[in-house]
Each structure stands twice: as structure tokens, then as C-alpha cells.
Amino acid sequence: MLDAFSKTVAAADSKGGFVGGSELESLKSFITEGNKRLDAVNAVASNASCCVTDAIAGICCESPGLTSPGGGVYSNRKMAACLRDGEIILRYISYALLAGDASVLQDRCLNGLKETYSALGVPAGSTSRAVSIMKAICIAHINNTNTEGFAGSKFRKMDVTPGDCSSLASECGSYFDAVIEAIG
């Protein structure tokens, strides 16, 4: 598990070089942008259960077969496992966003997940769709541009200092993309 700092050290050490120049510049901006990053992590974490349930409700509406006999979330046990998985994935994405590095997500959540899903018959396409709905929700929360939720439910606005969070939003988007790539 690496963060933006340890990753820089590991890269420098593998080349036998000092940390300097552009590497230090990028860590400097990591620090100066730190409050924004913490707001972004908070935007993801404090809306997590709403985000997960909205995404799972979304895939169930789009694919009614999921809740029919034999479907991916047919039975309370499977629905509970699915909601739990959505929450686990979102939690590791929030850790990656905090660290500014995807390794915690890759090592502790995605490693072997595709194989687990295929062994259990968990539908990868529907899982990817749920992850992409969560991505849209989290990006809206980070940019504070969220207006209306699924079926007209109102999302709350975050109480933060206004500013440009587009690069954090796209970084966070890349972690969701890594999940979709890993299970796809």
C-alpha cells in the first residue's frame, strides 16, 4: 500500500536517485491542494450509503432480471452481499483518493475480485454499471454540481469553500475506471 509520498520514494529508490525537480513539485501541489482533497474524500464518504443504494436501485430498475428468480440479487442474502460489495468498493476508492494513489484499491480490493465474481456467477456487466452510476454520483458531489438523484430524490449539496475541483473529480473518476477495468 503506497501513498503519493511513498510512491515517489519507491520510484526514486528504484532508480538509485534523489527525490527532486518535478517529483517535488508534484508533491508540493499535493500539499497545497490538500484541503480540497479532504473535502473531496468527505464528499464521497459522507454520501456513501445513499450513493451505493441509489446505484444498486438503478441497476435493478434497468435490469429487472436481477431481482427475478435466479438473478444476481435474487434473495435477501444476495442483495445484502451486493450492497456490501458496493460499499466496500466505494470505501477503497475513498482511501485511494485520500492517498492520491490507487495501490490500496488494487492490492486490497480488486486483486482477485474478477475471479471471485466469475466463480460465484456475480454478473460483471451489472456490477460495472453500478460502479459507473456511483462514479457519476461521486463526481457530482466532488464538483458540488449535483442537482437531482435517481427518480427525482434530492441530493444534498456539500457545505464547502467554492473552488475548482475538476482535477480531483477526474482523479476520482480514474479509480472507478480501474474497478470497471479489473472486473470487466
Ligand X SMILES: CCC1=C(C)/C(=C/C2=NC(=C\c3[nH]c(/C=C4\NC(=O)[C@H](C)[C@H]4CC)c(C)c3CCC(=O)O)/C(CCC(=O)O)=C2C)NC1=O
Contact 5, 101 (CB under 8 A): no
The continuous run of DSSP H or E covering 39 comes out as helix 34-45
Interface with ligand X (CB under 6 A), residue from 48, 105, 130, 179: 130
Grid coordinates of 135: 462514479
Contact 129, 50 (CB under 8 A): no
Query: In Å, how far from its chain's centre is CA 105?
Result: 9
CB of 22 to ligand X, least distance (A): 34
Distance between CA atoms of residues 49 and 59, nearest Å: 16
Q: Which of 40, 82, 168, 172 binds ligand X (CB under 6 A)?
A: 82
Cβ nearer to ligand X, comparing 59 with 165? 59
Q: Residue 166 in contact with residue 36, Cβ under 8 Å?
A: no
138 binds ligand X (CB under 6 A): no
Size of the site for ligand X (CB under 6 A): 21
133 binds ligand X (CB under 6 A): no
Residue with smaller CB distance to ligand X, 66 or 168:
66
Choose between 44 and 165: whose C-beta lies nearer to ligand X.
44
Which residues are CB-neighbours of 77 under 8 A, at least 6 positions away? none
Among 8, 47, 94, 126, binds ligand X (CB under 6 A): 126
Binding site for ligand X (CB under 6 A): 56, 59, 66, 72-73, 78, 81-82, 85-86, 88, 108-109, 113, 116, 120, 122-123, 126-127, 130
